[in-house]
Amino acid sequence: MPPKKGKKKPLTPEEQEEVELCWYKYDQQSREFMDIAEFKSLWMNLKADAFDDEETKAMFEKWDADKEKKARYPVFIKELEAEIQAIADPAVREETLGRLADGPQGSTNDYVAKHDLSPEEGVALRGLEGLKCLLKVDDLEELKASKNPAAGIAEVCYGAMCLLANPGDEIVWRECQMWLKDPEGTYFKMFSFFKRVNIGHVDDRRIERCRQFILQQRDWFDHSVISEVDKTAGLIAMWTLLAVRYFDAVDAYKMLPVLPAGEKPEECGDADKVFSTVMPIRTALPKAEEAYLAGRLVVLVDPKGMTKQHFLATNACILDAKDASQLRRKHVREMLVDCVQKRLGECRMGCMRRCSMAQFVIRPTSRVLPATRRHSRRLLGSRFM
């Protein structure tokens, strides 16, 4: 039966947040508009058993304010909030928001569960919020009007486009101008990017392409250099770096279950959890230290040995093992215990044992494997805790 409507009750801040997230979940192609198919998925979850195809078409026409067969963000927020406010029964409202929060039926997006921000996530997010106060839509409009931009401006715009658009293989200012054609839309995409990261809408390939480009053009992404060329370009460069940093921080805190061999998740109850991710060395090392300081066991898999020099320079305890099976051997376990005792003392050994290092190993493919499965990778264990 349809939700009961009565006196409109204002949305709580939590409900407003859920309504806003619906935009990013149901705009599945990140085009900043919904077509009729995406709108139908939204309306189906909103109405449940009361769903009617004809009503859906009529409502889409209402939400399509510009008659372009597209539902845009401002109208979406206004109309969806009105629909939720009209549900008087708290239980029904909660149930409706729950269905909407699940996203489109059949969606495979990996939504990041709500959690307290890690220090790395917090730093990146605060940086993005600060940039929003510094960069204005008018600045993008002025930049777009440039006919012969100075060296470096097209490069930093291209880097941002790697995250937000699909640029060609060559850096062409005309293409950058097309990206800036709608300054207000570009501004919205830039400062809502972190929300798409949170719901798994950002393809890893975009991040890697952007990361590689930044390394190739590293001088132009140095704020002290690019800000001397153009203030707006300097802010775009900073946004690009912070956006990649936020993606890495969120990705590092995704959780995967560690299950005994042959057992299913439902058979294990509250399975142990580990954080697993693949990250560049520059980002991985601060994240490893952050996790260690948070009281976690840190295992870095580094098949090329790129981090070993860093560990030697920081005087860290290093434990080498040829493959995962060696983690079960008595002498390796004794070496691990000895490292922990020297670094942390007997009082913290209980935490290490609860982590059960021999139970899992994290590989660069982000897969979590039981220690019984062999693989020819070199493990570098640093600052165990």
Residues 316-361 have pLDDT tens digits of 666 555 555 555 555 555 666 666 566 554 333 333 333 333 222 3
> What is the mean predicted confidence (pLDDT) over 148-156?
95
User: Residue 153: which pLDDT band, with cuts at 50, 70 and 90?
Assistant: very high
Residue 333: per-residue pLDDT: 59
User: Residue 240: which pLDDT band, with cuts at 50, 70 and 90?
Assistant: very high
Tokens of 47: 């109405």
pTM equals 0.64
Task: Name the more confident of 67 and 303.
Answer: 67
Task: Name the more confident of 144 and 250.
Answer: 144
Mean pLDDT in the chain? 75
Residue 210, pLDDT above cutoff 90: yes
Residue 200: per-residue pLDDT: 80
Residue 293: per-residue pLDDT: 62
Query: Which residues, at least 6 apart from 30, have a Cβ–Cβ distance to it below 8 Å?
Result: 196, 201
> What is the mean predicted confidence (pLDDT) over 350-379?
31
Residue 32: per-residue pLDDT: 81
Q: Give the residue from 202, 206, 195 showing the smallest Cα distance to 166.
A: 206
Residue 382, pLDDT above cutoff 50: no
Residue 31: per-residue pLDDT: 80
> What is the mean predicted confidence (pLDDT) over 32-52?
88
Residue 258, pLDDT above cutoff 80: no
Task: Name the more confident of 33 and 167.
Answer: 167
Lowest mean pLDDT among 186-190, 273-277, 343-347, 374-378: 374-378
Lowest mean pLDDT among 25-39, 44-58, 206-220, 265-279: 265-279
Contact in structure between 373 and 343 (CB atoms under 8 Å): no
Tokens of 107: 């969606």
Residue 116, pLDDT above cutoff 90: no
Beta bridge partners of 381: 299, 319
In angstroms, the CA 350 to CA 355 distance is 9
